[in-house]
Amino acid sequence: MSDAKIRILGLSGEYRPTSKSGMMVNHALEYARSKGADVTFWDCNEKPLPFVGEDGCWDNANVKEFQALASESDAFLVCSPEYHGTMSGVMKNTFDWLYDKHVGGKAFGLMSTLGGIQNANTLNHMRIMLRWLHAWPVPEQLSVGHVKDAFDDDGQFTDPKTVERLHGLVDSVLQSAVMLNSRDE
Ligand SMILES: Cc1cc2nc3c(=O)[nH]c(=O)nc-3n(C[C@H](O)[C@H](O)[C@H](O)COP(=O)(O)O)c2cc1C
């Protein structure tokens, strides 16, 4: 088995790393980095992805960079806010720029944030969608309800159980990425 570092790309269904979903992804990436992974966060505010189908989108430089980065990545950590019972439009459009050739056979860790009560709608919808991309979402997942109370003023989680679940999710993604990579060797 190769000793190469696992490369993880973080995707958020909200603009900016300071949004709640951006914070979730960056906490997950930070933990993955502490476990030896190479991590990158795609910030849609800094490098917006056009809507699929809009004028000029097929030659967009951000899209080309995003797809190349996804192709080079071994695994993905993703968090979407729940909007009207499902993932945000930003999240769906981000996924719509990805195809089997970029993410097929690769591990995904799924998270969601909600203003209201925690549920699994957005997680389940992302899980179904990933089937069409031939990707491998791990069984562990994390939904954070009442998300405005989930972080303290320093941006740290207020509930140690959230940290425990987040670490379990990332550990599973890292283990799955190693297993899935070893199939190609
Ligand atoms: C258009 C829109 C729809 C939303 N729909 C839901 C919803 O169906 N359920 C829910 O719990 N929260 C809902 N929310 C709240 C978001 O889930 C919440 O804003 C998000 O998790 C991120 O938090 P932040 O806005 O503080 O970054 C909605 C927010 C917006 C803007």
In a domain, 125, yes or no: yes
The pLDDT assigned to 29 comes to 98
In a domain, 2, yes or no: no
What are the tens digits of pLDDT across the range 29-40? Answer: 999 999 999 999
Mean pLDDT taken over the chain: 96
What are the tens digits of pLDDT across the range 56-80? Answer: 999 999 999 999 999 999 999 999 9
Atom of ligand 1 at shortest range from CA of 85: 8
Label each residue of 24-91 as H, E or C: HHHHHHHHHHHCCCEEEEECCCCCCCCCCCCCCHHHCHHHHHHHHHHHHCCEEEEEEEEECCEECHHH
How many domains, the chain?
1
Rounded to two decimals, the pTM is 0.96
In a domain, 1, yes or no: no
CATH number at residue 148: 3.40.50.360
The pLDDT assigned to 1 comes to 45
Range of the domain at 59: 7-182
CA of 145 to the centre of ligand 1 (A): 10
Angle between helix 89-96 and 121-132 (nearest 10): 10
In a domain, 143, yes or no: yes
In a domain, 106, yes or no: yes
Q: With a cut of 90, say whether residue 184 has pLDDT above it.
A: no
State which of 82, 87, 149, 162 you would mutate to test the pocket of ligand 1, scoring each by most atoms of that ligand within 8 A of its C-beta.
Answer: 82
The β-bridge relationship of strands 86-87 and 75-83 is: antiparallel
Atom of ligand 1 at shortest range from CA of 84: 8
Q: Among residues of the chain, what percentage have pLDDT more than 70?
A: 97
- The token duo for 171 is 């550990």
